[in-house]
A and B are shown apart, each in its own frame.
Chain A
């Protein structure tokens, strides 16, 4: 290892050759401000176009200031990170950026959480001396993501997320000079592109240029409508992140406070998507064992590996990019949609209400869920199984609107029967969780023996692609896990090439799984936040009395009273779906 010695703010530093000034400074606790730069450590995700110039520093002997995020340390460098010259340059840079930025902070949805706003405040910008033309664009509103490109500062983080991390390839910088903007091909709307609505572009956008389509007002409209019974379901990852919106530490579990807040907001029944996650395991696990059984019996037509299908961003991805493989994923609907299907049949019957009078709202860490619930195949006579999906952030906004003191709320419990869940369901919220939950159930169903231990450490972690072999009492089951669509692509290409040795693969579109979803509180590039959320999810699992989906008493009751058996006739009708080839064909 080659090392270099240098001085930063008159402090000696020794670093490995190739280290940037930004990293070297961080090592000795010197924080150089950045705007376009973003690095998610341990996840191999970095955006450093060196475009914004906010991170410039003074290097003794150099004529120009150097961008700290892109400049590598060399022997004997003498660096000043906050000299008068540096600070003045940063202020000039900020004023130039702001000269083409709308001044609507008071009514911008990103206000208070905006990195550009924070930077302007930190640098004490009180006027913008540069007045000139401002760009304007038509707003692009898909069912999930809203693009207001006049707020874009061309940091290119969204491009990195869309192209390098997710390999979706929908966004690119287009045009030139002052006209340049990040957009889909032909500047069409996202809705008409191959966008998966994973929302990772939104998750990393430093400004209000990319945000979610806000449905919270429609939720309130439903709540105040006396004719409607409004049901809410909350996804596993929400409870591990919602507290951050109210200043609580990352990884603080707020399940009880969240339930309490939802009740105060006026929902008639506060249920849990975790219940439907247990249901998903019953269906998906049964499908896995069914395909495996046929495969072992010598059936050459059976499709293996089976791929999980609970992530709607991932479903959109393979429909657009791997349409030749749409018969491989499990046909099981996602927990959100299973919940909706059961709520509007089984539960609506119990309430003696028509399905049109029942409104199902989901609180999701996800933006693709907004698109998913609007899909035609999840509607009955035009009435969607899930009417509205809001993100963790939108729920936080609703709680602030009502001026509830979130931290002081008493813990409350979910309603029954669709609020009971197991530890297996909770871990759906993190990468590796769905497949671990499936293994807990499939093992016991297949071997008819109790599992010796419930925690499968070999399936956990943060590596983009992981694999493990689980011994099903003499039958080795090869399991693959990928999170982030770029990693998923690698596993899919192996399957296409006939090189995959896996029996089952779990895929989640977002890095980290749902805990890192596009609808979660902004992590601002701090990967520790995701790790703490993951830890919280496993804690919640550990604390549950029941930790295997098939042991959920309300799931057992649902099958005996209503569904019959997993993957049976009624289950197929309500809980399974099919996929579509969405690849755009070039007309010749």
Chain B
């Protein structure tokens, strides 16, 4: 476990959220959403804090965090890349696009490059199926992406 100290302000904010949720295990997923929003990711220390506040075991929290792909224990990159794996994007070659990103950045899905610049995640449908396959980098949306376009997209952020 990384030995990091959490900023006190955010800790208080998270405790407040947990209190509003009744400090009750049934609301765990909502508490984790709030925690990830606050800290950007869910390091062990945050999970321990959430477990304490929501009165569930740390093992249970970790079980939930590792079950849902939305939750991450790795800080996202400066430019988080999301590749849509929804049906429309998938049939139009999203997997090849994803493979190309993985090859260029040398990381797997859910990981962040060593320099902290890029991270890759998959998502299911951004509601723009007409543009399939769709990739988002931060807030920016790219449509009809082909494997050959990947290098150019990455260049924009280097």
Contact = CB atoms under 8 A, between A and B. Distances in A.
Q: Do A and B make up one complex?
A: yes
Interface of A: 163, 169-176, 183-186, 188, 193, 584, 586-588
Contact of B8 (A163, A183, A588): A588
Interface in B60-81: 60-63, 66-67, 69
Given A170-B59, A588-B6, A186 B45 contact: no
A586 B52 CA distance: 9
Contacts of B121: none
A186 B62 contact: yes
Nearest to B1: A186
A175 B45 contact: no
Interface in B75-104: none
B30 interface: no
Contact of B62 (A172, A587, A588): A172
Contacts, number: 59
Nearest to B3: A587
B24 interface: no
Interface of B: 1, 3-6, 8, 11, 44-45, 47-49, 52, 56-63, 66-67, 69
A172 B48 contact: no
A162 to B, nearest CB: 8
B144 to A, nearest CB: 31
B57 A174 contact: no
Nearest to A163: B57
Contacts of A588: 5-6, 8, 11, 49
B59 A169 contact: yes
Contact of A170 (B3, B49, B57): B57
Given A185-B47, A587-B3, 13 more contacts: A163-B57, A169-B57, A169-B59, A170-B57, A174-B66, A175-B66, A183-B59, A184-B59, A185-B44, A186-B1, A186-B47, A587-B5, A588-B8
B1 A172 contact: no
A170 B47 CA distance: 14
- Greatest chain A CB density within 10 A among B3, B8, B11, B58 is at B58
A172 B6 contact: no
A169 B1 contact: no
Nearest to B73: A186
Contact of B67 (A171, A175, A183): A175
B97 to A, nearest CB: 23
B60 A169 contact: yes
A185 B67 contact: no
B5 A173 contact: no
Nearest to A171: B59
Contact of B63 (A173, A584, A586): A173
B24 to A, nearest CB: 16
Nearest to B53: A586
8 contacts: A169-B60, A170-B59, A174-B67, A185-B48, A586-B49, A586-B52, A587-B4, A588-B6
Contact of B66 (A169, A176, A584): A176
Contacts of A586: 45, 48-49, 52
A174 B57 CA distance: 13
Contacts of A584: 48
Contacts of B1: 186, 188
Given A175-B66, A175-B67, A176-B67, A587 B59 contact: no
A532 to B, nearest CB: 34
B49 to A, nearest CB: 5
Q: Which 5 A-B pairs have the closest CB atoms?
A: A169-B57, A172-B59, A172-B63, A185-B58, A185-B62
Nearest to B6: A588
A172 B67 CA distance: 11
Nearest to B51: A185
Contacts of A175: 66-67
A185 B45 contact: no
A557 B5 CA distance: 58
A174 B3 contact: no
Contacts of A174: 59, 62-63, 66-67
Nearest to A177: B67
Contacts of A163: 57, 60
Nearest to B12: A588
Nearest to A180: B67
Q: Which of B1, B5, B57 has the most CB of A within 10 A?
A: B57
A284 B61 CA distance: 40
A169 B63 CA distance: 12
B56 to A, nearest CB: 8
A144 B61 CA distance: 25
A183 B67 CA distance: 13
A171 B60 CA distance: 8
Contacts of B6: 587-588
B123 to A, nearest CB: 16
A173 to B, nearest CB: 5
A187 to B, nearest CB: 8
Nearest to A173: B63
Nearest to B43: A186
A193 B8 CA distance: 25
Nearest to B60: A172
B57 A186 contact: no
A173 B145 CA distance: 38
A587 B45 contact: yes
Given A185-B62, A186-B62, A172 B57 contact: yes
- Which of A169, A186, A188 is most buried by chain B, counting CB atoms within 10 A of its CB? A186
A188 B49 CA distance: 17
Contacts of A193: 59
Contacts of A587: 3-6, 45
Contacts of B63: 172-174
Contacts of A173: 63, 67
